[in-house]
Structure 1
Amino acid sequence: MIKKLSSLGSLEEVFKRRTSIESAMESAKRIVDDVKVNGDTAVRKYTKQFDGVDLDSFALTEAEIDSAFELIDYETLEHLQHALDNIETFHSLQMPQSDMWLTEVSPGIRLGQKYTALASAGAYVPGGTGSYPSSALMLIIPAKVAGVPEVVACTPPRKDGTIHPLTITAIAMAGADEIYRVGGVQAIAAMAFGTESVRKVDKIVGPGNAYVTAAKMYVRGAAEIDMPAGPSEIVVIADETGNPVLIASDMIAQMEHDVNSLAVLITPSEALAKAVDSEIKLQTSSALRKQIIEKAGYVIYVTDDLVAAAAACNEIAPEHVEIMVANPMPVLNGVRNAGTIYVGEYAPVAAGDYASGANHVLPTGGYAKTFSGMNVMQFLKTTSVQYIEKEGLENIRDIIVALANIEGFDAHAKSVMKRFS
Structure 2
Amino acid sequence: MKSLSIPVFTWNTLSQEEKSTLLTRSEEDIREVQDSVRSIIEDVKQRGDEAIREYTARFDKAEFPHKPLQVTEDEIDEAVRTLDPKIARALDYAMENVTRFHQAQVPAAMDMHQIRPGIWAGERATPIDSVGLYIPRGRGSFPSMLYMLAIPAKLAGVPNISIVTPPGPDGTVDPACLYAARSIGVSTVYRVGGAQAIAALAFGTPSIRPCLKVLGPGSMYVTAAKRLLSGTIDPGLPAGPSESILWADASQNTQDDITRICLDLLIEAEHGADSSALLVTDDQTLARRVAETLPALIENTPEPRREFLKKVFSGYGGIILGQNEAQAADIINQFAPEHLSIQTREPVDSVALIKNAGEILLGPFAPFSAANYAIGANAVLPTGGYAKTWSAVSVRDFIKYNSIIQMTRRGYQDLRDHVITLADYEGFPSHSRALKDRPEA
How does the TM-score come out when normalised to structure 2? 0.91
Q: Secondary structure at the match of 1:141?
A: helix
1:38 aligns with 2:47: yes
2:333 corresponding residue in structure 1: 314
1:220 aligns with 2:230: yes
1:254 aligns with 2:268: yes
Q: Summarize deviations over 1:259-283 as a string: whole Å, max 9, x none.
A: 1211111112222111221221232
State the shift of 1:33 in Å. Answer: 2.0
Q: How far apart in 2 are the matches of 1:290 and 1:49?
A: 25
Q: How far apart in 1 are the matches of 2:434 and 2:427?
A: 14
Q: How far apart in 2 are the matches of 1:222 and 1:55?
A: 29
Q: Summarize deviations over 1:342-361 as a string: whole Å, max 9, x none.
A: 01110100001111111111
1:370 corresponding residue in structure 2: 389
Q: How far apart in 2 are the matches of 1:387 and 1:255?
A: 53
Q: Summarize deviations over 1:282-329 as a string: whole Å, max 9, x none.
A: 322312232221111132122232222111101001110000112122
State the shift of 1:129 in Å. Answer: 6.4
Q: Secondary structure at the match of 1:224?
A: coil
Q: Summarize deviations over 1:350-376 as a string: whole Å, max 9, x none.
A: 001111111111111111112212111
Pick from 92, 95, 99 the counterpart of residue 84 of structure 1.
95
State the shift of 1:16 in Å. Answer: 5.1
Pick from 130, 136, 148 the counterpart of residue 126 of structure 1.
136
Alignment of 1:11-50 (within 5 A): 11-15=19-23, 17-20=25-28, 21-50=30-59
Pick from 179, 183, 189 the counterpart of residue 173 of structure 1.
183
Deviates most, 283-292 or 70-79: 283-292
Kindly report the root-mean-square deviation, in angstroms, between the aligned alpha carbons of the 2 structures. Answer: 1.8
**Contact persistence 1:235–1:264 (CA under 8 A):** yes
Q: Do the aligned partners of residues 306 and 95 (structure 1) sit closer, same or farther apart at CA in structure 2, a change above 3 Å counting?
A: farther
1:208 aligns with 2:218: yes
Alignment of 1:269-308 (within 5 A): 269-288=283-302, 289-297=305-313, 298-308=317-327
Residue segments in structure 2 that go unaligned for 5+ positions in a row: 1-6
2:363 corresponding residue in structure 1: 344
Deviates most, 397-406 or 366-375: 397-406
Q: How far apart in 2 are the matches of 1:259 and 1:222?
A: 30
1:265 corresponding residue in structure 2: 279
Q: How far apart in 2 are the matches of 1:122 and 1:55?
A: 24
**Contact persistence 1:54–1:161 (CA under 8 A):** yes
State the shift of 1:87 in Å. Answer: 0.7
Pick from 81, 90, 93 the counterpart of residue 104 of structure 2.
93
State the shift of 1:255 in Å. Answer: 1.7
**Contact persistence 1:340–1:373 (CA under 8 A):** yes
Q: How far apart in 2 are the matches of 1:361 and 1:375?
A: 9
Q: How far apart in 1 are the matches of 2:24 and 2:227?
A: 21
Q: Secondary structure at the match of 2:33?
A: helix
**Contact persistence 2:12–2:322 (CA under 8 A):** yes
Q: How far apart in 1 are the matches of 2:407 and 2:33?
A: 51
**Contact persistence 1:319–1:339 (CA under 8 A):** yes
Q: How far apart in 2 are the matches of 1:271 and 1:45?
A: 53
**Contact persistence 1:14–1:299 (CA under 8 A):** no
State the shift of 1:117 in Å. Answer: 0.8
Q: How far apart in 2 are the matches of 1:418 and 1:392?
A: 17
**Contact persistence 1:339–1:368 (CA under 8 A):** yes
Q: How far apart in 2 are the matches of 1:71 and 1:363?
A: 35
Residue segments in structure 1 that go unaligned for 5+ positions in a row: none
State the shift of 1:86 in Å. Answer: 0.6
Q: Do the aligned partners of residues 292 and 275 (structure 1) sit closer, same or farther apart at CA in structure 2, a change above 3 Å counting?
A: same
**Contact persistence 2:218–2:239 (CA under 8 A):** yes
Q: How far apart in 1 are the matches of 2:294 and 2:200?
A: 42
State the shift of 1:47 in Å. Answer: 2.1
Letter in 2 for 1:304: Q
Letter in 2 for 1:71: T
Q: How far apart in 1 are the matches of 2:79 and 2:401?
A: 38
Letter in 2 for 1:41: E
Q: How far apart in 2 are the matches of 1:226 and 1:283?
A: 36
State the shift of 1:419 in Å. Answer: 3.0
Q: Summarize deviations over 1:352-410 as a string: whole Å, max 9, x none.
A: 11111111111111111122121111001111111122222222222211221222211
Q: Secondary structure at the match of 2:438?
A: helix
Pick from 116, 120, 123 the counterpart of residue 110 of structure 1.
120
**Contact persistence 1:121–1:152 (CA under 8 A):** yes
**Contact persistence 2:136–2:165 (CA under 8 A):** yes
2:148 corresponding residue in structure 1: 138
Q: Do the aligned partners of residues 315 and 7 (structure 1) sit closer, same or farther apart at CA in structure 2, a change above 3 Å counting?
A: farther
**Contact persistence 2:181–2:187 (CA under 8 A):** no
Q: How far apart in 2 are the matches of 1:380 and 1:7?
A: 47
**Contact persistence 1:19–1:260 (CA under 8 A):** no
Q: Summarize deviations over 1:4-40 as a string: whole Å, max 9, x none.
A: 2228946335135423321121222222122223322
Q: How far apart in 1 are the matches of 2:221 and 2:386?
A: 17
**Contact persistence 1:47–1:54 (CA under 8 A):** no
Q: Do the aligned partners of residues 128 and 5 (structure 1) sit closer, same or farther apart at CA in structure 2, a change above 3 Å counting?
A: closer
Letter in 2 for 1:12: S
Q: Secondary structure at the match of 1:221?
A: coil
Deviates most, 219-228 or 351-360: 219-228
Q: How far apart in 2 are the matches of 1:414 and 1:372?
A: 43
Q: How far apart in 2 are the matches of 1:48 and 1:161?
A: 10
Pick from 57, 68, 75 the counterpart of residue 64 of structure 1.
75
Q: Secondary structure at the match of 1:11?
A: helix
State the shift of 1:218 in Å. Answer: 1.7
Deviates most, 259-268 or 4-13: 4-13
State the shift of 1:258 in Å. Answer: 1.2
Q: How far apart in 2 are the matches of 1:49 and 1:269?
A: 48
1:233 aligns with 2:230: no
2:416 corresponding residue in structure 1: 397
Q: How far apart in 2 are the matches of 1:291 and 1:122?
A: 32
